[in-house]
Structure 1
């Protein structure tokens, strides 16, 4: 096999991480001033992708004093059984909590990133969607800012959110207002009814 057959070509399909940010005070857009919004950036797969406040040590920076100097890192890897490029995420913040789909990661802990992940740190929410590709040496990243929090659409990843049961509102509307305000009533099956 000659060298030209083993080299990665421009035609190879690159994996892409779509990273969509949300923050409650993002209206000023200054938070994302250092991110290349709306365009794809090509990165080397052998270097970790770091996010944080420090523009010198991070690949991409957030302009926010509440973000750790080094907040998190994404690492690309491959397995012998799959042509796809996969990623892990690691918490680099000693003081900040990081969660991935509701699973908390402590300092320097890491976990595999699924194809669609909700990452939270501070008041930030990052929706990371992986588009598969077969290129081995590089991948792309595309940034976007969301108008609404992605957790609204992905509430299944929130451990604190529980499903709401149907209260039978049509039935409750037949009762007087003072009984509706108290909510559902429980009965004790051991009590006997006397007429």
Structure 2
């Protein structure tokens, strides 16, 4: 006789996990994340949309901030025939403002595929979302944490572009603050070098 637990179809143990890491410049003096399940993994059905905003009735997770839209963003899980991975799209639900994903702006109701590592910005919030692959097909997990510093300064998505400068062997670094750029040698005019 077979044990009942062996006959019941179970989901694989390893679930895809979205690590969602928040930063706001005033997070230490405000209770912005007071209702988020920080430090715990929450399990969700893959066919349910995750919504983040300030309205606890219409959102799965809420931020205690009057400047956040009632419904700010949504995450939708999906699968493709060519990939075993659970993937996600992100959608801007705010009519008041833009949402950016790795510097690509999304207006109201626009959506895009969420990369494996994404820097999300709206208002003064910076959210780093990292997808950890799993085998489960019917559900996934979400893990929230708060960062002590802005992820835009720590992620490789914001590496300044390097443009070589002719005949100097140095680089002009676009994307660094102006005080750093002025210390880098600037390109010289070739005709001046040959005429002198």
* Alignment TM-score, normalising by the size of structure 1: 0.79
Deviation, 1:96, is: 1.2
* Alignment TM-score, normalising by the size of structure 2: 0.79
What is the root-mean-square deviation of aligned Cα atoms in Å?
Answer: 2.8
Aligned positions of 1:38-187 closer than 5 A: 38-154=39-155, 156-157=157-158, 162-163=161-162
Match of 1:8? 10
Q: 1:13 to 1:186 in 2, by over 3 A?
A: closer
Q: Does the 8 Å CA contact 1:16/1:139 hold for their aligned counterparts?
A: yes
SS in 1 for 2:90: strand
Q: 1:132 to 1:155 in 2, by over 3 A?
A: closer
Q: Does the 8 Å CA contact 1:118/1:150 hold for their aligned counterparts?
A: yes
Over 6 Å off, 4+ runs: 164-169
What is the rounded CA distance, in whole Å, between the counterparts of 2:32 and 2:183 in structure 1? 45
What is the rounded CA distance, in whole Å, between the counterparts of 1:75 and 1:6 in structure 2? 28
Choose between structure 1 and 2: higher strand proportion.
Answer: 2
What is the rounded CA distance, in whole Å, between the counterparts of 1:185 and 1:108 in structure 2? 44
- How many residues align? The count is 176
What is the rounded CA distance, in whole Å, between the counterparts of 2:40 and 2:22 in structure 1? 14
Q: 1:5 to 1:144 in 2, by over 3 A?
A: same
SS in 1 for 2:76: strand
The higher radius of gyration belongs to 1
Q: 1:29 to 1:13 in 2, by over 3 A?
A: farther
Deviation, 1:135, is: 1.0
What is the rounded CA distance, in whole Å, between the counterparts of 2:163 and 2:95 in structure 1? 36
Deviation, 1:28, is: 2.6
**Structure 2: any 5+ residue segments left out of the alignment?**
1-5, 171-181
Q: Does the 8 Å CA contact 1:8/1:136 hold for their aligned counterparts?
A: no
Match of 1:22? 23
Deviation, 1:156, is: 3.2
What is the rounded CA distance, in whole Å, between the counterparts of 1:32 and 1:182 in structure 2? 41
